[in-house]
Amino acid sequence: MSPYEIRKLTREGKITHQTCGMCDGYAQGNLLILPKEHAYDFLLFTQRNPKSCPILEVGDVGSRKLKKMAKDADIATDIPKYRIWEYGELKGEYTDISKFWRNDFVYFLIGCSFSFEGELLAADVPVRHIEEGKNVPMYLTDIECEPAGIFHGKLVVSMRPMPADQVIKAVSVTASMPRVHGAPIHIGDPKKIGINDINKPDFGESVTIKDGEIPVFWCCGVTPQSAVMSAKPPIAISHAPGHMFITDVKNTLLKD
Amino acid sequence: MSPYEIRKLTREGKITHQTCGMCDGYAQGNLLILPKEHAYDFLLFTQRNPKSCPILEVGDVGSRKLKKMAKDADIATDIPKYRIWEYGELKGEYTDISKFWRNDFVYFLIGCSFSFEGELLAADVPVRHIEEGKNVPMYLTDIECEPAGIFHGKLVVSMRPMPADQVIKAVSVTASMPRVHGAPIHIGDPKKIGINDINKPDFGESVTIKDGEIPVFWCCGVTPQSAVMSAKPPIAISHAPGHMFITDVKNTLLKD
């Protein structure tokens, strides 16, 4: 099915599950919705932290439509599952947020590592959590994001282990995709970035690291949610983890 | 002299001329200052038009200091010449804007093609306006920028003519520098982008185009000033053309 058909079924409430692996080749996006009052601070946060928050599209104030990343889409209905946050705390999950939409809301669609994983596999770089049918392991680091207004917090990273002879290829492939997190931010010793136990991720699931494999760390799209938890705005809406917005734009076109 | 020494002399009023060719190898930046009231719209304009408005740094509200691009710098004194705009009209030029600074001002430092011209020359691609000791020719196109809030307007491009066998190299060199306008947006027939007379630039000076040479067009940092003239905010401050902010960051480091 095309991204449009998937979004239509999602809008009708017929798709409510995770989107990993759906519409192969098309970019998927993380979502954050904030009132205009906090939109400047967050937009500046994304500008100052482009590797963790690469923007795909920002809506006009009050608009639920997309102009660049999808046709005939509605940001308030076309994602399988949403989360509503009040003062930094998760208040509930919904499959449709139309009834909560406000005229002062601004949506931010943010690049997702699903896009570069396809490219890694195409280059024969192993992606362990896909092999093992798990969520990617994610960790809170001790690296402070560049703050902007009310938004601040630690950088969240995702990790993919691989043989040493695959690392250069993995850097090269992802460096060419800056709009979906780009090159890794760290290779090797997890302790150097404040991760004490590589087998205990803060989000997602632990994966096997084979003898001699090197852990490779990328900036992660969960960072914006971490910044929301730190900033504690009265209201924010995000996608639920793994339940992404599927765009009409192919991953290969995110390389420019 | 180092960028710091140049900025110090500028601050003391001892340098008031254009900065082209100064501090070879260090990135220079275009400036726009707006009140917080209009900062969100402009930041979104830069996000939607990244090739014409690649952000190097955005200040905190009211702050004249830089954190990333320069140490011990003052954005209100360290540029040789500033322009003050009221309701989209040029009201005056100043070598110091300290006395006009307001606590609600936000500065935007934007990448400049001076950075990639050094790389072109290093790759033996000719840069005609440098050969002829002129300003680069710039043109208003018929391409609409993506609007954002009050900001809108036509894209401004700069043009460098070159033999056909140099074009691929020029694309390749500049594509690797997205923070200073990146790859060209058009190659060849000027009429295709609304330029009727290549010998009559709208800004800068006309340069020689030799027989068989192809004009190559890049997005230009004058686009933000064009957007200010269209949006007509009550107050805006820019650098004067050619009078740039000299950063402590080398051009080669703008490639990531």
Residue identified by tokens 């947006």 is B185
| Residue-level pLDDT at B135 | 87
Give CA–CA dist B170/B160, Å, rounded.
10
User: Cα separations (Å) of A176 from A172, A173, B174?
Assistant: 7, 6, 14
A-chain CB neighbours of B58 within 8 Å are 44, 47-48
Mutate to test the interface with A, among B34, B45, B46, B47 (most CBs of A within 10 A): B47
Distance of CA B42 to the CA centre of its chain: 15
Chain B residue nearest residue A108, CA to CA: B44
Give CA–CA dist A195/B164, Å, rounded.
52
Chain B residue nearest residue A45, CA to CA: B58
Element (H, E) at A249: strand A245-250
Q: Once rounded to an integer, what is the mean pLDDT over residues B12-39?
A: 93
Note the pLDDT tens digit of each residue in A163-210. 999 999 999 999 988 888 999 999 999 999 999 999 999 988 999 999
Residue A229, pLDDT above cutoff 80: yes
Give CA–CA dist B94/B85, Å, rounded.
12
| Residue-level pLDDT at A114 | 85
Q: How many helices (H) and strands (E) does chain A have?
A: 6, 11
pTM of the model: 0.90
A-chain CB neighbours of B39 within 8 Å are 40
Element (H, E) at B162: strand B154-163
The two structure tokens encoding residue B35: 């009140």
B253/A233: higher pLDDT: A233
B105/B252: higher pLDDT: B105
Helix %, strand %, coil % for chain B, to 5? 30, 30, 45
Report CB contact under 8 Å: B43, A48: no
Residue A16, pLDDT above cutoff 80: yes
Of residues A36, A40, A183, nearest to B39 (C-beta): A40
> Which amino acid, residue A89?
E
Distance of CA A83 to the CA centre of its chain: 14
Note the pLDDT tens digit of each residue in B50-75. 999 999 999 999 999 999 999 999 99
Chain A residue nearest residue B178, CA to CA: A256
> Which amino acid, residue A55?
I
Q: Once rounded to an integer, what is the mean pLDDT over residues B155-178?
A: 94
Residue B99, pLDDT above cutoff 90: yes
Residue B256, pLDDT above cutoff 70: no
A-chain CB neighbours of B48 within 8 Å are 58
SS3 A151: strand
Report CB contact under 8 Å: B44, A43: yes
Report CB contact under 8 Å: A58, B43: no
Structural domains in chain B plus CATH codes: 3-112+232-255 (3.40.1640.10), 114-223 (3.30.2040.10)
Q: How close A61 gets to chain B, by Cα (Å)?
A: 9
Nearest to B52 by CA among B172, B141, B171: B141
Report CB contact under 8 Å: A55, B47: yes
Nearest to B42 by CA among B28, B27, B30: B30
Report CB contact under 8 Å: B43, A40: yes
Q: What angle do CA B64, A144, A150 make, to 5 degrees?
A: 60
Of residues A40, A48, A55, nearest to B40 (C-beta): A40
Element (H, E) at A29: strand A26-35
Q: Which residues of B touch chain A, with CB atoms under 8 Å apart?
A: 36, 39-40, 43-44, 46-48, 55, 58, 61, 149, 178, 183, 256
Report CB contact under 8 Å: A55, B36: no
Distance of CA A201 to the CA centre of its chain: 16
Residue B134, pLDDT above cutoff 70: yes
- Count of positions (residues) in chain B: 256
ipTM at complex level: 0.85
| Residue-level pLDDT at B118 | 87
Q: Which residues of A touch chain B, with CB atoms under 8 Å apart?
A: 36, 39-40, 43-44, 47-48, 55, 58, 61, 149, 178, 183, 256
Chain A residue nearest residue B182, CA to CA: A256
Of residues B47, B61, B183, nearest to A43 (C-beta): B47
| Residue-level pLDDT at B253 | 84
Chain B residue nearest residue A149, CA to CA: B60
Cβ(A256)–Cβ(A198) below 8 Å: no
Report CB contact under 8 Å: A256, B183: yes
HSE of B209, CA atoms in CB hemisphere, 13 A: 20
Give CA–CA dist B256/B254, Å, rounded.
6
Q: How close A150 gets to chain B, by Cα (Å)?
A: 11
| Residue-level pLDDT at A20 | 82
| Residue-level pLDDT at A256 | 57
The two structure tokens encoding residue B97: 């804007």
Give CA–CA dist A136/A142, Å, rounded.
19
Cβ(B55)–Cβ(B39) below 8 Å: no
